Amino acid sequence: MNAVVLELLKASLLTLGALFPIVNPLGNAPIFLSLTRGYSSATRGWLARRVALNGFVLLLVSLLIGTHILAFFGISLPVVQVGGGMVVIATGWSLLQRKDEDTASHDGERSASAIDLSQRAFYPLTLPLTVGPGSISVAITLGANWGDSSHFHWMPLAAAVLGSALLGLTIYLSYRFAETIARILGDTAMSVILRLSSFILLCIGVQILWNGVSTLLRGVIR
């Protein structure tokens, strides 16, 4: 029994370790604050929970049936990387172009309906900011390498659920307490961190786009 538990923990930590650097909730926390500027602390807490839940579902679906979804629609993984990379590039570029006075003008508390908040929690806060095409493609690749899907194996399923749940927890904690960290660091430091995070997000988008394009080009050359 102990060997089974250890194997489950190992598989779960492998999933978490492969996805955590790409999801990067700590690095995305300043961007989360920027995109939710003007919302109350309670609303940000609600959004953090919703984004964590959305991220958990997206990653779990990608791990378990991502390859089947792509096959059903006739979409290859490189095409997902190209399209998703362009979305990430657009998001990072828009954040880089946002002026400090533009964000400062929204310091007053904003109100929004539950439907608007739910939509914003999914786009852009969950997709592509938190769980973008890079993490989805890695999750699909991990799921594809788990063996023959025609036979049921409980270990990959349990590892996918546990690993995605742990990652969802890190997303929630990073976003929920981002406001407290920002208050400690101050506006100037957070502005610098936001610019750096936006630039890194832009570079990640370019890398995802290039990965897809290079794979497609190799297929054409062959």
Model pLDDT, residue 126: 95
CA 59/CA 66 separation, integer angstroms: 9
Of all residues in the chain, what percent carry a pLDDT higher than 90? 44
pLDDT tens digits along 130-187 = 998 889 988 998 888 765 544 557 788 888 999 999 999 999 999 999 999 888 888 8
Least confident of 32-36, 104-108, 131-135, 176-180: 104-108
Give me the helix-helix angle, 154-176 and 178-185, nearest 10°.
Answer: 40
Model pLDDT, residue 105: 45
Least confident of 52-56, 142-146, 175-179, 208-212: 142-146
Least confident of 32-41, 122-131, 165-174, 187-196: 187-196
Model pLDDT, residue 194: 87
Model pLDDT, residue 162: 94
Average pLDDT of 28-47? 92
Return the higher-pLDDT residue of 133 and 106: 133
User: pTM for the whole thing?
Assistant: 0.85
Average pLDDT of 50-64? 96
Q: Which two tokens stand for residue 52?
A: 């964590």
Expressed in percent and rounded to 5, the helix, strand and coil fractions of the chain are 85, 0, 15
Return the higher-pLDDT residue of 106 and 60: 60
CA angle 177, 160, 117 (to 5 degrees): 40
Query: Does position 48 have pLDDT exceeding 70, yes or no?
Result: yes
- Name the amino acid, one letter, at 124: P
> How deeply is 29 buried, as exposed, middle or buried, from its count of CB atoms within 10 A (0-12, 13-18, 19+)?
buried
Model pLDDT, residue 101: 53
